[in-house]
């Protein structure tokens, strides 16, 4: 299928599909005239990419994971587990850090006394 067909099938713009190609996430075949032609599984692969992006993974992490993804549904082979576990731990660490910062900020607001801004004399 051509890039426009893939865009319609997935609801993704042709510009974004070209970006995925630049990132090494999808690989079209090129005709002798240079047009992109995608294989039958391209729409499934784009859906997998969208699912992994929605889970907070970077395009470089997705590129590394794609060999572990198969099927029309998002089926992950065991080789994806270490990468996903590492990203989950990093996300948990960021959430903990944000929660600690939020608690500190709320405490600061609670403990603070507020003064009125001084009025200027002319």
pLDDT of residue 65: 93
d(CA 94, CA 89): 9
As a residue count, the chain comes to: 122
Query: Could you tell me the residue ranges of all domains in the chain?
Result: 3-108
Strand 69-70 vs strand 75-76: parallel, antiparallel, or unpaired?
A: antiparallel
Phi, psi of 37 (to 5 degrees): -135, 125
Question: pTM here?
Answer: 0.77
Intervals of the chain under pLDDT 70: 122
pLDDT of residue 74: 76
* CB contact at 8 A, 79 and 68: yes
Q: Give the fold, CATH level 3, of 3-108.
A: Multidrug-efflux Transporter Regulator; Chain: A; Domain 2 (1.10.1660)
pLDDT of residue 120: 75
pLDDT of residue 118: 74
* CB contact at 8 A, 6 and 16: no
């Amino acid at each position: 299928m051509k890039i426009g067909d893939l865009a319609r099938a997935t609801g993704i713009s042709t510009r974004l599909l070209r970006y995925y190609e630049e990132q090494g996430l999808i690989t079209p075949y090129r005709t002798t005239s240079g047009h992109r032609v995608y294989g039958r599984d391209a729409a499934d692969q784009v859906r997998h990419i969208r699912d992994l992006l929605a889970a907070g993974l970077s395009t470089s992490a997705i590129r590394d994971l794609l060999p572990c993804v198969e099927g029309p549904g998002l089926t992950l082979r065991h080789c994806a587990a270490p990468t996903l576990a590492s990203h989950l731990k990093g996300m948990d660490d960021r959430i903990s850090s944000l929660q600690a910062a939020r608690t500190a900020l709320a405490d600061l607001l609670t403990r603070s006394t507020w003064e009125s801004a001084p009025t200027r004399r002319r």
